[in-house]
Amino acid sequence: MSYVGPDFDPPQPRRSRRGPLTVALTALVPGALAGWLAWQAVGDDSGGGSDRAVPASSSSSPGSAGPSSSSSRPSASATDDSKADTPSAPASSSSKPAASGSLKGKVVVIDPGHNPSNFRHSSEINHKVNIGTNWKECDTTGTSTNAGYTEARFTLDVAHRMRAILEKQGATVKLTQDGDRSFGPCVDERARIGNAAHADAVVSLHADGSASGNRGFHVILPASVHAGAADTRPIVAASRDLGEHIAGLFVRETGSAPSNYVGDGTGLVVREDLGGLNLSTVPKVFIECGNMRDTKDAALLTSGAWREKAARGISEGIVGFLHG
């Protein structure tokens, strides 16, 4: 997910910060101390600096079309191991209750950012939707690696892996889209899907499109928003708890470091400009798993083995949150 575009305005640039802030992470993520310590052991060879990213986000059901804008389609000839390592995905995106397991009775909604076909529907994804605080475009096409591996492919692959992991533990898992729509859904519809499912946890999957040298992951938490149809006040605390669990377990499983360009080294960022968070009535966070425009992060994001680790880290964070 990039910061320039519909649901993703750029935050103020921050300088990369490490050192004492790394130690502070253990206080922010008390349930995942082992994960943070594992990251410290791995270290971080990231560069510094900050920049704006290329567009990203997702879209919805047809509505009154707004001004049309062109969307470029990333090359399909990306060099990666995604096809070989991608697990076969069920044809349907409907939820599949599991019979037993520690998460029996729990509902998890996974929101794979963007849609592989969004680029074919520029007018639809550019029409405006109300996110409570203001109006924004339905969605964007998402970003990609320099070699053309798209964010939409990445998020759907990780979503499939997460679904398999969570269903084995008894959870009922629903995807907001499974590559089975011509475009979208829009950011407001994505929020409604989680709300209608009465989800115990919702995670929106993304990968950033920031400047080269900007590395690492960050989890986006909802700010306290009360405007129009948006009221996040009841979910702010629970969403932070969910985000902290995911951040800690993501570090432990992947060895990736928190972002060196947003979040001041904590891996946590609070936003009030995202419709998917503003309109949610259930605990929800976004995760930017890495920066697709940085060659070192791109090497991870295009690795099926690393995506399996990412799926496991996010899933285990959800499990820890749901177990309390």
* Strand partners for 203: 110, 285
6's CB contacts (< 8 A; 6+ apart) are 55, 57, 125, 126, 136, 137, 138, 139, 140, 187
Specify whether 124 is catalytic.
Answer: no
Q: Single out the residue of 190, 318, 191, 313 nearest to residue 254, CA to CA.
A: 313
Angle at CA 235, nearest 5°, toward 233 and 239? 130
Please state, in angstroms and rounded to a whole number, the distance separating the CA atoms of residues 217 and 203.
14
Query: Residue 128 is inside which H or E element, if any?
Result: strand 128-130
Strand 135-137 and strand 128-130: pairing? antiparallel
- Cβ atoms of 180 and 244 within 8 Å: the answer is no
Of 244, 288, 308, 316, which is the active-site residue? 288
Distances (CA, A) of 66 to 117, 128, 137, 207: 18, 6, 8, 26
Residue type, 186: C
Q: Catalytic positions, please?
A: 288
